[in-house]
Amino acid sequence: MKPDNLKTKIFLDSGDPKETRETLSLLGFLDGQTTNPSLIAKSSSAQERISKGLKFSKVEVKEFYRDMVSEISGLIPSGSVSIEVYADLSTSAKEMLDEAQQMYSWIPNAHIKIPITKEGLKAAEIAVSLGMRLNLTLCFSQEQAAAVYSATKGAPKKGDIFVSPFIGRLDDKGLNGMDLISNIIRMYRQGDGHVEILAASIRNLNHLLCSLWLGVDIVTAPFKVLKEWVNKGLIVPDNFYQYDSHGLSPLAYCDISLDQNWQNFNIHHPFTDKGLESFVRDWKAIIE
């Protein structure tokens, strides 16, 4: 049962409807789910097919993705389901937008994931004007988050736009990923609140607990972390909670004005590039 003092929405980070069912049974609630090409490729249904020596054609893999998110959507009809466009470093804004519009029609509760690249933000700006709900993903810096805020100012209401800072991947490089969450929360206080912060790349229970303590809008976590949280009694940290960064290098806060055109911000980040490369690699591994 959902704790009374829980203000943060809880999402499952998974491309597998089986885990959606398990999580609903375990938690008793679920506010949404985030998917991406890597998670879909690693789902039990995809791996069962691959184990038989069968791969997907490009048409089949898109149909498979649609079927997976449609099943997930049916399990959490009042929640959000993030679907990610295919994008590499050369994908144009038009290509992303065309795919985003197609994916947006798959289910009634979609948020379309678009990477925070120059072409991605061009696509996002147009998508917002068309009334689409978006999740701007692979965020690794305050400037990227500021650019998301600026590019999506036309969003009609709070909850239509998410930005997804990746905690674990920063930790992997010796940087305190939780600082990025804290810094974006602080920066967004000067804005209108139209972008919700979705803490992503959650690797462990401490990431989850610190996100709750900071008061982030949404946390998306893998099943194993949510299960550990349940085993700890669905605790919500109080004011005495202290996050142990285990010696990771801090990320200093930058004083950034949100009243700028998104193209004025330096949005390039090598970790975003690597994230795209990883998604493409996993996707291609299951395609003929």
For the stretch 218-277, pLDDT in tens is: 999 999 999 999 999 999 999 899 999 999 999 999 999 999 999 999 999 999 999 999
- Which residues are catalytic, by number? 113
Assess if residue 1 is contained within a domain.
no
Assess if residue 85 is contained within a domain.
yes
The CATH number of the domain holding residue 96 is 3.20.20.70
The reported pLDDT for the residue numbered 1 is 78
The Cα 72–Cα 163 span in angstroms is 21
The Cα 66–Cα 94 span in angstroms is 21
Assess if residue 261 is contained within a domain.
yes
Residues in the chain: 288
Q: Splitting the chain (288 residues) into consecutive groups of 10 residues, what average pLDDT does each group show?
A: 93 97 97 94 91 91 96 98 96 98 98 98 97 98 98 93 98 98 98 97 98 98 98 95 96 97 97 95 89
Dihedral sign computed on CA atoms, order 231, 234, 238, 244: positive
By C-alpha distance, which of 284, 248, 276 is closest to 139? 276
Assess if residue 3 is contained within a domain.
no
Residue 172: which domain range? 9-284
Assess if residue 246 is contained within a domain.
yes
The count of structural domains within the chain is 1
pTM of the model: 0.97
Assess if residue 131 is contained within a domain.
yes
